[in-house]
Chains A and B, each alone.
Chain A
Amino acid sequence: MADDRVAARLRPLRQPVVPDPEFAERLFLRLVAEVDFERGTVRRASLPSRVRRAWQLTARERRVIWTLAAVALLLGLLLSLAIIGSRVPAPSELVSRSQAVYDSPPAFEMTVAMPTIVVRYRFDGAGLLRGDILPGRSGSGRGVGTYFVFDGVRYHEFDSRGRLVGSFAMQGVPVGWYGRALLAPYNDYSVGERSTPLAPFPLTWTLAQTFELPPPITNCAGAERGPDELVAGRLTYRLTCPTVRNSYWVDTETLFVLKVLNRGGEVFEATSVDFAPSFEPGTFDIPDGPGGARPLVYGAMEPGAYFTPVFTPTITFRLGDGWFNGFDRHSDGRLSRENVDLLFVRVDRLVDPETGEAVPFDGSATDFVAWLERHPALAISAPEPAQLPGASGVEFELSVRPGTAGVPCENTPQFQCVFVLAIDVGHIQLALDARARVVALDVQGETVVLLAFGDGAGDVDLPAILAFP
């Protein structure tokens, strides 16, 4: 679909819209109050000065009345706050207030005993959660001393010696905040296809939707309240949800859920809790992975070594300043810097440029280069041997043959492009006047193609920054 379809679709948004008359009139009156029509300008007075002036213009008797009224209002407010503070909320209010806590939970440390495992959770209050497997119950198959750090998208799993085992994309829709959701990696029945930390093979999965973690208490219409109880030394409200037949023990102070009894009779219970924790430096660090690298994550990259947790075969990058990671997917990825874009693509199919039909492809870099040489729209320079750590292949320059007609480029329709490669999430185009530095490599039986675009493409020392561990 061409871009002009999107533009056409959005065209109605350019039209003026008459707002709600009440709003228009309210705003008009507010603006008029600020305009000094006699002088033909806007009054400069600030709100405090206007209040002060109004106060000065008020008669003495009226000032006394206003002062008394303000004092009475303040006292009433304080009294109301005291009453509200001492009132025990209704069960439905407790549910909604507890749910609200999990929108942006504060830092905490909590050890939770579950049917088959004991986990010490530490949350930094800013999106990083660490879970350490403690001794106490066994049956989960998870090693005591292992831990994970969850960054909101991926689990980074560590062995008992603190070495990164791997980083794994979240696979299933989680169904609770710490009760079940955080247990997803440890819970055989929570997800249909497991792809989780410490699995014997590193599967990853991307979902076709954006999900938000629900709070622990969900589907709780008609909540009922039982007697208050102590959990982990803290006073809790006990709530029962008739629809899902779960019971929750909610901390009276923080409204965190400290204990869950589900309909199957399983208990998830905090055995120790700290809502003002202090964490040692490095608690949430994601230290060295393969080749001393950290997993690539979306966004601006600090200088350092990274590996692709999703793209296979795994590539390691040693990056300097100014790099940005755009994608890390099964079939392609993209790193960019001020004046260079570096695409890496796993080529697993080639098509006939004339008919668009698949052509035989033996999966080697040599076959890929031969296909390019036969291509009627593309031209390549004489291939030269290329040697990268862990892989070898050829390097050449790719351009469009002079006189070739193009189509509007996907992202920049003011330029003309030709189609180069199809990948499973889209395709790669080359602008008519662009040149790409290409390295085609044979890596572990796959053809991996690196394409460097931009003015700075020639300056990137690929053998120095790339490796295939």
Chain B
Amino acid sequence: MTAGASATRQGTELDLAFSSERAFRAWYDAALPRVYGFVLAHAAGDRELTEEITQQTFIDALRDHARFDGRSDVVTWLCAIARHKLADHYRQLDRQERRRLRLVVRELSEGGETSAWSAAEDRAEVEAALRTLPAMQRAALVSFYVDGLSMREIGRLVGRTETAVESLLTRARTNFRRAFREADDG
């Protein structure tokens, strides 16, 4: 399918949602869990924050619906809006964290595999581990592994250099793995 054909189809889909309340409900019910799940992943399970950002995302998307050019899936577009709101949130969190005393975390060499890594874990446990990470490390980890963004894209999003993102990602991986190891130990 060409890009032009795709654009026409997606544009019609969004326009259709505005044609009646029933159509809008169907579109909303299909889109909400995907956008909500996307935001929840970045918010490390913080439901209150997720609801706030999801709500802002939908309201902004509605008001700026003319900007949607139909070249991507509507939900992808919604997630892009949410991503920018999350980036603002991460930057704000980062500033708050930097204001407080932060001591350097010693990055130990990784030891052997632990049992937690060999078992399938549920979402709540992953979110709990993510919550132990500083905001920027969480942003880098989720954007890289869940969203599939490149380091350059992540850097543009959070206002860091590509090298800085790489460094963030290294520390995020270490701390994420450590969080699971501590959960095992504890």
Contact = CB atoms under 8 A, between A and B. Distances in A.
Contacts of B58: 27, 31
A20 B59 CA distance: 18
A27 B54 contact: yes
A13 B25 CA distance: 25
Interface stretch (A34-42, A107-115, A395-403, A456-464): A34-42
A212 B101 contact: yes
A1 B173 CA distance: 10
B123 interface: yes
A222 B109 CA distance: 45
B105 A206 contact: yes
B9 interface: no
A16 interface: yes
Interface string A30-66: 1110111100111000000000000000000000000
B59 A12 contact: no
Contacts of A12: 121-123, 126
Contacts of B107: 425-426
Contact of B145 (A7, A212, A329): A7
Nearest to A19: B36
Give chain A's interface residue range (CB within 8 Å of chain B): 35 or more
Given A9-B180, A326-B163, A424-B109, A42 B63 contact: yes
Nearest to A150: B101
B23 to A, nearest CB: 9
Nearest to B174: A426
B5 interface: no
Interface string B83-100: 000000000000000111
Contacts of A424: 109
B72 to A, nearest CB: 17
A333 to B, nearest CB: 12
A23 interface: yes
A336 B170 CA distance: 15
A7 B40 CA distance: 17
A1 B169 contact: no
Given A34-B59, A411-B170, A424-B109, A213 B65 contact: no
Given A31-B59, A37-B19, A208 B33 contact: no
Contacts of B173: 3, 6
Give chain B's interface residue range (CB within 8 Å of chain A): 35 or more
B55 A30 contact: yes
A358 interface: no
B28 A31 contact: yes
B151 to A, nearest CB: 8
Contact of A13 (B50, B123, B163, B177): B123
A201 interface: no
B51 A326 contact: no
Nearest to A454: B163
Contacts of A7: 145
Contact of B19 (A20, A40, A209, A427): A40
B164 A34 contact: no
Contacts of B166: 411-412
A341 B163 contact: yes
A90 interface: no
B105 A207 contact: yes
B104 A1 contact: no
A311 to B, nearest CB: 13
A263 interface: no
B101 A30 contact: no
B62 A13 contact: no
A24 B103 contact: no
A324 B167 CA distance: 11
Contacts of B110: 1
Contacts of A326: 163-164, 167
Interface in A129-186: 152-153, 169-170, 174
A71 interface: no
A293 to B, nearest CB: 20
A23 B51 contact: yes
Nearest to A17: B37
B33 A336 contact: no
Interface string A195-219: 0000000000011111111000000
A15 B55 contact: no
Given A1-B117, A326-B164, A425-B108, A16 B170 contact: no
Contact of A16 (B34, B47, B65): B34
Contacts of A16: 33-34, 36-37
Given A13-B142, A31-B59, A35-B24, A127 B99 contact: yes
A162 to B, nearest CB: 25
A28 interface: yes
B103 A30 contact: no
Interface in B28-46: 28, 32-34, 36-37, 40-41
Interface in B100-136: 100-110, 113, 117, 121-123, 126-127, 134
A425 B109 contact: yes
B8 interface: no
23 contacts: A1-B117, A6-B145, A9-B121, A9-B126, A13-B37, A13-B41, A13-B126, A13-B127, A15-B37, A17-B33, A19-B33, A31-B58, A31-B59, A31-B62, A37-B19, A42-B62, A42-B65, A152-B102, A174-B101, A208-B106, A326-B167, A410-B170, A411-B170
Given A9-B126, A23-B51, 4 more contacts: A3-B173, A6-B145, A20-B47, A206-B104
